[in-house]
Structure 1
Amino acid sequence: MSDRFRLTLGQLNPTVGDLPGNAALARKTWEAGRDAGAQLVALPELFLTGHDAKALLRNPAFQRDVTAHLEALAADCADGPALALGAPWVEGTKLHNAYLILQGGKITQRVLQHSPVPHSVFDAGPISGPYAVEGLRIGSPIGADGWESDVAETQAETGAEFLLIPNAAPHLRGAMDRRLNHMVARVIETELPLVYLNMAGGQDEAVYDGASFALNPSGKLALQLPAFEEAIAHVDLERGPEGWLIAAGDRAPQPSTLERDYRALVVGLRDYVSKVGAAKVLIENAGGHDAALAAMIARDALGADNLREIAVAAEGSLYSSLRDSLAALGAEVSVASLSLPLRSLMLRALADDAGELLLTAQNKSAAAMGHGAVLGDFNPIKDLYQTEVHALCQWRSETHRAWMLGPEAAAMAISEQSTEEHQLDDILRVLMDKDGSVEDCVAEGLDQRIAQEVARRHLEHRPQGNRSTPGPRVTAPRTEYPRPARWRGRS
Structure 2
Amino acid sequence: MSNPPGPLRLALCQMNATVGDIAGNEQKIREGIAAARGQQAQLVLFPELALTGYPPEDLLLKEHFLRDARAALERLAAEVTDVVALVGFPEREDDVYNSLAVLADGEVKAIYRKVYLPNYGVFDEQRYFATGEGGALIEVGGHRIGLTICEDIWEPGPPASDEAYGGASVIVNISASPFHAGKGLERERMLIQRARDTMCVVAFCALVGGQDELVFDGHSLVLDHRGEVLARAGQFTEELLVATVDPQAARTYRLRDARQRAAAKAARPVPTIATLELPPGPEPEGELRTGGTVAPLLEPTAEVYAALVTGLRDYVGKNGFRRVVLGLSGGIDSALVACVAADALGPDAVSVAVMPSPYSSSETQADARQLAANLGVELFEFDILPAMEAYTATLAETFAGRPADLTEENLQARIRGNLLMALSNKFGWLVLATGNKSEMSVGYSTLYGDLAGGFAVIKDCPKTRVFALSRHRNEVAIETTGEPLIPPSIIERPPSAELRPDQKDEDSLPPYAVLDPILDAYVEQDLGRDQLLLRGFRLKDVDRVLALVDHAEYKRRQAPPGIKITSRAFGRDRRVPITNRYRG
Quote the offset at 1:4 in angstroms: 2.6
Secondary structure of the corresponding residue to residue 110 of structure 2:
strand
Q: Is the 8 A contact 1:238 1:244 kept in 2?
A: no
1:201-238 Cα offsets, whole Å, 9 max, x none, are 11111111111111111111111111111101221123
Indicate the residue corresponding to 2:35 in structure 1: 32
Q: 1:465 aligns with which of 534, 549, 556?
A: 556
Q: 1:397 aligns with which of 474, 487, 491?
A: 474
Matched letter for residue 13 of structure 1: N
Change (3 A) 1:322 1:103: farther
Matched letter for residue 328 of structure 2: N
Indicate the residue corresponding to 1:347 in structure 2: 420
- CA–CA separation in structure 2 for the residues paired with 1:355 and 1:220: 50
Indicate the residue corresponding to 1:97 in structure 2: 98
Q: Is the 8 A contact 1:212 1:224 kept in 2?
A: yes
Indicate the residue corresponding to 1:201 in structure 2: 209
Are residues 1:173 and 2:160 paired? no
Q: Is the 8 A contact 1:262 1:392 kept in 2?
A: yes
Indicate the residue corresponding to 2:339 in structure 1: 296
Quote the offset at 1:352 in angstroms: 2.5
Indicate the residue corresponding to 1:87 in structure 2: 89
- CA–CA separation in structure 2 for the residues paired with 1:450 and 1:380: 28
Are residues 1:14 and 2:17 paired? yes
Secondary structure of the corresponding residue to residue 492 of structure 2:
coil
Matched letter for residue 440 of structure 2: A
Residues 18-417 of structure 1: pairs in structure 2 closer than 5 A: 18-75=21-78, 77-92=79-94, 94-118=95-119, 119-120=124-125, 121-148=128-155, 149-238=157-246, 240=248, 243=251, 247-313=290-356, 317=380, 319-320=382-383, 339-370=412-443, 371-372=445-446, 373-400=450-477, 409-412=484-487, 413-415=490-492
**How many residue pairs are counted as aligned between the two chains?**
474
Change (3 A) 1:454 1:321: closer
- CA–CA separation in structure 2 for the residues paired with 1:385 and 1:171: 17
Q: Is the 8 A contact 1:318 1:346 kept in 2?
A: no
Matched letter for residue 244 of structure 2: D
Q: Is the 8 A contact 1:131 1:137 kept in 2?
A: yes
Quote the offset at 1:480 in angstroms: 5.7
Indicate the residue corresponding to 1:424 in structure 2: 515
Change (3 A) 1:293 1:424: same
Secondary structure of the corresponding residue to residue 145 of structure 2:
strand
- CA–CA separation in structure 1 for the residues paired with 2:473 and 2:54: 31
Indicate the residue corresponding to 1:441 in structure 2: 532
Change (3 A) 1:342 1:239: closer
Q: Is the 8 A contact 2:184 2:217 kept in 1?
A: no
Q: Is the 8 A contact 1:364 1:385 kept in 2?
A: yes
Quote the offset at 1:28 in angstroms: 0.5
- CA–CA separation in structure 2 for the residues paired with 1:300 and 1:466: 29
- CA–CA separation in structure 1 for the residues paired with 2:549 and 2:60: 36
Quote the offset at 1:341 in angstroms: 2.9
Secondary structure of the corresponding residue to residue 399 of structure 1:
helix
Secondary structure of the corresponding residue to residue 326 of structure 2:
strand
- CA–CA separation in structure 1 for the residues paired with 2:533 and 2:48: 43
Q: Is the 8 A contact 2:29 2:46 kept in 1?
A: yes
Quote the offset at 1:258 in angstroms: 0.6
Quote the offset at 1:477 in angstroms: 2.0
Q: Is the 8 A contact 2:325 2:352 kept in 1?
A: yes
Quote the offset at 1:35 in angstroms: 1.6
- CA–CA separation in structure 2 for the residues paired with 1:64 and 1:430: 45
Quote the offset at 1:71 in angstroms: 0.8
Matched letter for residue 248 of structure 1: G
- CA–CA separation in structure 1 for the residues paired with 2:538 and 2:574: 27
- CA–CA separation in structure 1 for the residues paired with 2:342 and 2:179: 21
Bigger shift: 172-181 or 289-298?
172-181
Change (3 A) 1:244 1:355: farther
- CA–CA separation in structure 2 for the residues paired with 1:191 and 1:33: 26
Quote the offset at 1:134 in angstroms: 3.6
1:351-401 Cα offsets, whole Å, 9 max, x none, are 222121100000111112212223111111010111111111111111249
Percentage of identical aligned residues: 30
Secondary structure of the corresponding residue to residue 252 of structure 1:
coil
- CA–CA separation in structure 1 for the residues paired with 2:331 and 2:464: 13
Show structure 2 runs of 5+ residues with no match.
254-288, 357-364, 370-378, 395-407, 495-505, 576-584
Quote the offset at 1:268 in angstroms: 0.4
Matched letter for residue 341 of structure 2: A
Matched letter for residue 20 of structure 2: G
Secondary structure of the corresponding residue to residue 148 of structure 2:
coil
- CA–CA separation in structure 2 for the residues paired with 1:445 and 1:96: 48
Secondary structure of the corresponding residue to residue 228 of structure 1:
coil
Secondary structure of the corresponding residue to residue 452 of structure 2:
coil
Bigger shift: 236-245 or 180-189?
236-245
Matched letter for residue 346 of structure 2: G
1:69-104 Cα offsets, whole Å, 9 max, x none, are 1111112x2333122111111221x11110111112
Q: Is the 8 A contact 1:5 1:237 kept in 2?
A: yes
1:16-38 Cα offsets, whole Å, 9 max, x none, are 01000000100111001112222
Q: Is the 8 A contact 1:318 1:347 kept in 2?
A: no
Secondary structure of the corresponding residue to residue 15 of structure 1:
coil
Matched letter for residue 205 of structure 2: L
Q: Is the 8 A contact 2:5 2:248 kept in 1?
A: no
Bigger shift: 267-276 or 99-108?
99-108
- CA–CA separation in structure 1 for the residues paired with 2:250 and 2:81: 33
Matched letter for residue 89 of structure 1: E
Quote the offset at 1:416 in angstroms: 5.9
Quote the offset at 1:181 in angstroms: 2.4
Q: Is the 8 A contact 2:384 2:415 kept in 1?
A: no
Secondary structure of the corresponding residue to residue 194 of structure 1:
strand
Change (3 A) 1:244 1:321: farther
Q: Is the 8 A contact 2:474 2:484 kept in 1?
A: yes
Secondary structure of the corresponding residue to residue 50 of structure 1:
coil
- CA–CA separation in structure 2 for the residues paired with 1:128 and 1:350: 54
CA RMSD of aligned residues (A): 3.0
Change (3 A) 1:264 1:183: same
- CA–CA separation in structure 2 for the residues paired with 1:416 and 1:97: 51
